[in-house]
Amino acid sequence: AAIGCGDFKISGGMEAASRLLAACPDLTAIFCANDPMAVGAVKAAAAAGRAVPEELSIIGFDDSLEAQVSQPPLTTIAQPIEEIAAGAMELLRGGGKSEQRIRLSARLVVRHSAAPPTNHSARSDDPTPPAAAGHDSGRVQARTRKRILIAGAGRIGRVHARALARIPGAVITGFSDPDVARAAALAREFGAATFDQVEAALAGGDVDAIIIGSSSDAHLDLVRCAAQHGVHVFCEKPLALTAADIAVAIAACEDAGVILQVGFNRRFDPNAAEIASSVRGGRIGKPLSIRIASRDPAPPPRDFLRRSGGMFHDMAIHDFDLASHILGEEVVEVMAMGGCLIDPMFTEEGDVDVATTILRFASGAVGVVENTRATPYGYDQRLEVLGTEGALESENQTANRVIFRGPAGQVGPLPLPFFLERYETAFQHQMQAFVELIAAAAPRPEPVVSGRDALRAHLIADAATESLRSGRPARVAAEDVVPMQRAMNTTPGGSHDASAGGSGQR
């Protein structure tokens, strides 16, 4: 049977497959309109008590019909089911989610399919997908996929898992989190294992890379543990809570010869990437100034705020990194002003909820970064760069671009709700870049966001914190703290607790 739904995402696959399985419980194979829908179909099959792939083969294909692997135990197949694919896509283009449309799709496939898939030997943890019947060779060419462990099963862990599930070159081997039930829930959703301890998972030699999305205070130990086991690292910011500890993390990965990429996802936003490329290509001449407005829709939970590092190290640090990246030069001095004007919680926690930071770059160019912890109209993200020959600007993204005009004026849509929606594409591109990097042959290029990039952003945040405290401009410290930490890296600091360490908010 082939399934189609107006929603071409995981949720659409779940809905369509659930209804199809209820109507036709004796199915042996399901063809899906695309790979994300196939992931949803696997979830629906599990809920219906059907073993995949032993009892039920779930097969997806992309629009180009290229042979790709999505997420075990799925298989993406190409010819000779092109007629099936074309017919299913034709139904899908019509939209709708009625049972009649789903049954019609099933009859279409039965009419054109020579035989159901025959290879049911693959396990859910087998990196090689089962083959599909009807292909001339009877097999899909196996691809070597990178085995990735996710530490942290909170909101950002789910974001990275969803991104990885769409990448043919990656397979999620497992999740680890102090909240075992939460890790187990994500593991079931993505067909992966659950680990009580990260170190035990890494010691088995079955992990190529780790995604660290745990609480910030656990990042350093997890990075060092991964480096000791020769495992590549993607770590959410902050890499550690102090510049000295960030230097330890960098040295650990450099000495072990493993990749370290840090999660400053905004560099991967298509708008920001286009602006950075245009600036470096000379489109606006000599850069004079950069202005970034970054306003959250609501304050974070108190518990998160306590562990976040504060306004500059949690929120503004994204903008510090982006400003330096776009202009391609170092920030040498900052002047920060701010206060607690929205929620007294920030005063109680020694933080501010409104801040403006002026950046001075090495060339003399200036930057203005405005941060606010709450706005009544959504997630405000705007960027402008001015040069001697022009300006570049990125406005807010909205769910649509429809504007109503009437006698009382005009009304348009509000910005997207929060960073999960606004930077969904950036998160996907970020993870794609990491997987491609760890799969590349040596010598590999530098990550788009390296550990040293993270250190530079942290040092800017340190200077902003000092400026806010003193009421005076503060110089940004030099990066030469890194080489001094190599001696420290030979002996694990503290308890070296390589557990999952909690779940980061973003």
Collapse the DSSP code of 40 into the 3-class scheme (helix H, G, I; strand E, B; otherwise coil) and give the result: helix
Domain 270-419 architecture: 2-Layer Sandwich (3.30)
CATH of domain 146-266+443-449+480-490: 3.40.50.720
Collapse the DSSP code of 459 into the 3-class scheme (helix H, G, I; strand E, B; otherwise coil) and give the result: helix
Token representation of residue 322: 């982006």
Q: Give CA separation, 162 vs 9, 43, 171, 263, 449, in Å.
A: 11, 14, 11, 15, 21
Residue 60 one-letter amino acid: G
Cβ–Cβ under 8 Å, residues 422 and 318: no
- The secondary structure of 67-101 as a DSSP string is ----STT-EE--TT-HHHHHHHHHHHHT----HHH
- Provide the pLDDT for residue 32: 74
Cβ–Cβ under 8 Å, residues 224 and 249: yes
Name residues whose C-beta falls within 8 Å of residue 174's C-beta, 6 or more positions apart in sequence. 149, 150, 187, 192, 193, 194, 195, 201
Token representation of residue 95: 């939209």
Model pTM above 0.75 = no
- Alpha carbon distance 173, 202 (integer Å): 11
Tens of each residue's pLDDT in the chain, 506 residues: 555 554 566 767 777 877 788 778 777 778 776 666 777 777 777 777 787 766 777 776 544 333 333 333 344 333 334 444 555 555 555 554 433 333 333 333 322 223 333 332 222 333 333 322 233 332 222 347 899 999 999 999 999 999 999 999 999 999 999 999 999 999 999 999 999 999 999 998 899 999 999 999 999 999 999 999 999 999 999 999 999 999 999 999 999 999 999 999 999 999 999 999 999 999 999 999 999 999 999 999 999 899 888 999 999 999 999 999 999 999 999 999 999 999 999 999 999 999 999 999 999 999 999 999 999 999 999 999 999 999 999 999 999 889 999 999 999 999 999 998 999 999 999 999 999 999 998 788 899 999 999 999 999 999 999 999 999 999 999 876 555 455 455 444 433 455 555 555 45
- Alpha carbon distance 180, 172 (integer Å): 17
Q: Give CA separation, 482 vs 222, 258, 411, 451, in Å.
A: 19, 17, 52, 10
Domain at 2-112, CATH class: alpha beta
Tell me whether domains 146-266+443-449+480-490 and 270-419 share a fold. Answer: no
Nearest C-alpha neighbor of 250 from the set 499, 501, 451, 40: 451
Q: Where are the domains of the chain?
A: 2-112, 146-266+443-449+480-490, 270-419
